[in-house]
Amino acid sequence: MDTIDRPSGRAPRVTAAMVAQRAGVSTATVSLVANGKTRGRVSEDNISRVREAISELGYVVDGIGSSLAKGVSSIVILVAPDISNPFFAKVIAGVRETLGADYQLLLSVTDAGEFPHAEDVRKLMALRPAGLLVDAPNAGFLEELSAAGPLVLLDAPGLEAYAASVNLDVAHGARELAAHLADSGHTRAAYVDSVTGTATFDVRRNAFLEEAKARGISVPPDCIISTTIDVGAAAEAFALAWPQWQRSGVTAVVCGTDTHAYGVLQEARVAGVLIPQELAVAGFDDLPYSATSNPGLTSVHLPAMPLGRKAGQQLRGLMAGLELEEPHVTLDSSLVVRGSTG
Amino acid sequence: MDTIDRPSGRAPRVTAAMVAQRAGVSTATVSLVANGKTRGRVSEDNISRVREAISELGYVVDGIGSSLAKGVSSIVILVAPDISNPFFAKVIAGVRETLGADYQLLLSVTDAGEFPHAEDVRKLMALRPAGLLVDAPNAGFLEELSAAGPLVLLDAPGLEAYAASVNLDVAHGARELAAHLADSGHTRAAYVDSVTGTATFDVRRNAFLEEAKARGISVPPDCIISTTIDVGAAAEAFALAWPQWQRSGVTAVVCGTDTHAYGVLQEARVAGVLIPQELAVAGFDDLPYSATSNPGLTSVHLPAMPLGRKAGQQLRGLMAGLELEEPHVTLDSSLVVRGSTG
DNA sequence: CTGAAAGCGCTTACAG
DNA sequence: CTGAAAGCGCTTACAG
């Protein structure tokens, strides 16, 4: 039985006042009922009256009015430099899962790899978000943020001083990878880095280089290049560098992301470089396609969904006004060996 | 010269009243200046006074207060059933590009392939969005939406009656694909569909089946299966179906998305099925990885970024109160042939 | 050109 | 347990 009048297409906005009138109570009571704050404040009788009126009229608390009165909205802003990464889609899924229907996820996207600046941040804050999630930030951005309100950083190694964080132990996987290559007999490797000045990429590179060195794998400075996170760009850069690398005895290439690695694989096929016989290739992220490529891509697996889930969970805690028991969490990474490294 | 006092971490909210006082004008004037509505309404003198005060105090118009007064927010909601698809990341990038900094993009995500229902929609509308973008909807969802305000549909073939739309001519690519397979000598094919009841998948399948039939390729009912848009799920389903298909003489598999096709490629490698000698494989979307896989995946290319761009552009028109010159736009698709089909 | 005032829809002390 | 009232920060007729 639909009792809503909808004469000509657009339904009129139903307000708390309309509900109040129908239920024969004040708007204050409507607000209490609609927000479930009735405990010891509203009579059973009025509760059911209001509930009935609410469902009859199809009333929904107006987000804007509510936000203004409360001083905060139900929006959670997720700032991220690269949503084109499939890895990131899983992080979002994880966030959504723990945030549930109480909060709306607003995605702040800029151009690939770029972070918003002071003015953009102010505009975002003008939405009075309930909380902020920042993925793979750099220190400069966090300085500008001058953190107002609940804030959780994702994948922000070394930036623990700024806010609560959920990190990935990429260094562990990077070391495993170096060990794996050393065990396979490699003694000279190259590294394809990401150009974005994001902390996680520094950690990946440094951990790999350090462990490689310790294991007798040399990575000369001219064997380290960087490109944007793009298959084509990586392919091009590799094409340019390979002749040189080959001459200097490079037998393995490690890439900052699987996306870079796909570019290397692609170009290697074009150039007739045998993978893994002539060249071993590995990446970070373990994107879904890495299991599918031919050969499969050896990669450092990062738990994307758990990352999003945990970050959402921590943020919920902060938004509820809690003191986090464990403000800094680190999730494991581990190497997945596939055909691209023999 | 930073004149903002920030005694202990959290900056106090700067309001229009504070700016007004500093500039020696009323809040009405501040509002006019902040919104650029000064033409013939504010003296040059006051304009510069207010501008100065604004920048001195770092004032930003509060989104919530503004939205409440205006009756509409600056939020554009993008509803989509599957953001884990890299295709979708590009659509978002296109939308962002045309929407610019004036609007905030709110991503409404549900579980993969699911659409929000009545209640969720109401909650979204409670944010008073300036506009709505709905990707790959089904009719049921649009019925529930009872469209209030500017709305543009993306990739919603056959749903033109509901709202302005930007569509992809997937049928054209699908027919090209059927022709290509027929030309390659295939006479029996299988189809791996998506389980989501999304119109575009129906169009893809139907256009392919029709053209295949016309070209002498038979696709028996038991050679049509469907799975979620997931590499693993597709691989599993293919593993189960392949022995049967092989016996019945299937030499080509067309997949509703490249993601499905990756699953088929993966399982084929495991099962030792030679691609393309024993089995030709093709998909839709032309994801970045399709150029990289080995063999490369033949796929119907869909212009993701232009799709997002055009949709954003149309929505801007509607939000500006314009009548769209061309409310229904269709973008081209075309087949990209790679190694997976020989 | 300018400002006082009403109003957007809600929430929350407050007084009863 | 209940409601009148103030207030959140802004925008927009309105009167001047």
Give the residue among A42, A31, A91 at the shortest CA–CA distance from A66.
Answer: A31
Q: How far apart are CA B338 and CA B342, in angstroms?
A: 7
Distances, alpha carbon A125 to alpha carbons A78, A322, B285, in Å: 12, 21, 36
Q: Is the CB of B21 under 7 A from strand D?
A: no
- pLDDT greater at residue B288 or residue A183: A183
Domain with CATH 3.40.50.2300 in chain A: 71-167+304-330, 170-303+335-341
CB contact under 8 A, B123 and A93: no
Own/partner long-range contacts of B40-49 (Cβ < 8 Å, ≥24 apart): B49/B23, B49/B24, B49/B25
Which residue of A289, A290, A309 to mutate against B (max B Cβ within 10 Å)?
Answer: A289
Distance of B232 CA from C13 C1′ (whole Å): 56
CA nearest to A258 within chain B: B289
End-to-end Cα, chain A, rounded Å = 67
Our measurement of CA A70 to C1' C13, in angstroms, reads 13
pLDDT in tens, B54-68: 999 999 999 999 999
Integer Cα distance of A174 and A169 in angstroms: 9
CATH 3.40.50.2300 domain range(s) in chain B: 70-168+304-333, 170-303+335-341
Nucleotide nearest to A69 (CA to C1'): D8
Chain A residue with minimum CA distance to B90: A84
- Owner of token pair 């397979």: B181
Q: How far is CA A118 from CA A153, A198, B338, in A?
A: 18, 18, 46
Q: Cβ neighbours of residue A40 under 8 Å, at least 6 residues apart? A: none
DSSP SS3 for A105: strand
Say if CB A254 and CB A110 are below 8 A apart.
no
Q: Which helix (H) or strand (E) holds B334?
A: strand B334-336
**DSSP annotation string for B173-226:** HHHHHHHHHHHTT--BEEEEEESS--HHHHHHHHHHHHHHHHTT-B--GGGEEE
- Domain B70-168+304-333 in CATH 3.40.50.11540: no
Task: Write down the pLDDT at residue B113.
Answer: 58
Give the mean model confidence (pLDDT) for residues A228-240: 90
pLDDT at A112 over 70: no
Is the predicted pLDDT of residue A250 greater than 60, yes or no? yes
Cβ contact A137:A117 at 8 Å: no
pLDDT (mean) for A109-130: 78
In the CATH scheme, what architecture does the domain B16-61 have?
A: Orthogonal Bundle (1.10)
Cis (ω within 30 of 0) for the bond into A221?
no
- Token code pair at residue A41: 């404040």
d(CA A327, CA A308): 15
| CATH class of domain segment(s) A170-303+335-341 | alpha beta
Could you give the C-alpha distances from A248 to A189, A237, A280, B72, B266, in angstroms and in order?
10, 17, 15, 63, 35
Range(s) of chain A covered by CATH 1.10.260: 16-61
Tell me: domain A71-167+304-330, CATH 3.40.50.970, correct?
no
3-state secondary structure at position A250? coil
**What CA–CA distance (Å, rounded) separates B90 from B100?**
15
Per DSSP, the three-state class of B137 is coil
Q: What digits encode the pLDDT tens for the residues A1-16?
A: 333 333 333 567 899 9
Q: What is residue A278's DSSP assignment?
A: T
Q: Is the pLDDT of residue B9 over 50?
A: no
Which regions of chain A does DSSP assign to beta strands (E)?
75-80, 104-109, 131-135, 151-154, 164-168, 189-194, 224-227, 252-255, 280-285, 298-301, 328-331, 334-336
CA distance B14 to A163: 24
Residues B279-288: what's their mean pLDDT?
94
8 Å CB contact between B166 and B307: yes
**What pLDDT score does A147 carry?**
65
